[in-house]
Amino acid sequence: QVQLVQSETVVRKPGASVKVSCKTSGYSFTGYYIHWVRQAPGQGLEWMAWFNPDSGRAFYAQGFHGRITMTGDTSITTAYMELSGLTSDDTATYFCARDSGTNSRLDPWGQGTLVTVSS
């Protein structure tokens, strides 16, 4: 079945970068966009970006321009989200999700990766 498995919880210091991975299986990796969504503790969902594994193209939400980079490795069907210049406001659980290709249905989702930014 389709699965997205994310990397483990990480702690970073302010100003550092973090790279979260999203290992996919059960479908053609290059056939579907991957979206990244984050959720600060006790807060709602914030959409960050999508990544097209076939073309390598990405589109970022306005608030993340210049700090975020999406990449993918087709040989291991894994997508990556790298966020730089971390502040405490970036403390959140980061989710990847597959775009079904119709109506931007995000399904399924990864289990989430908690990124804590603390000195």
Partner 1 sequence: DVQMTQSPSSLSASVGDRVTITCQASQDIITYLNWYQQKPGKAPKLLISAASNLESGVPPRFSGSGSGTFFTFTINGLQTEDSATYYCQRFDDLPRVTFGGGTKVEIK
Residue 98 near partner 1 by CB under 8 A: no
The residue within the footprint of partner 1, chosen from 20, 37, 70, 92 (CB under 8 A), is 37
Computed from CA positions of residues 82, 88, 90, 93, in that sequence, does the dihedral angle turn out positive or negative? Answer: positive
Distance from C-alpha of 100 to C-alpha of 106, rounded to nearest angstrom: 6
The residue within the footprint of partner 1, chosen from 18, 20, 95, 115 (CB under 8 A), is 95
User: Which window, 11-19, 22-30, 37-45, 79-87, contacts partner 1 (CB under 8 A)?
Assistant: 37-45
The residue within the footprint of partner 1, chosen from 25, 55, 104, 118 (CB under 8 A), is 104
Residue 41 near partner 1 by CB under 8 A: no
Residue 20: burial class (beta carbons within 10 Å; 0-12, 13-18, 19+): buried
Minimum separation from the CB atom of position 116 to partner 1 (A): 16
Decide: helix, strand or coil at residue 75. Answer: helix
Q: What six digits make up the tokens of 25?
A: 């299986």
Instruction: List b or e across 56-79, with b for residues whose CB sees 16 or more CB atoms inside 10 angstroms.
Output: eebebeeebeeebbbebeeeebbb
User: Which window, 7-15, 32-40, 69-77, 84-92, contacts partner 1 (CB under 8 A)?
Assistant: 32-40
Chain residues in the site for partner 1 (CB under 8 A): 33, 35, 37, 44-47, 50, 59, 61-62, 95, 97, 99, 102-112
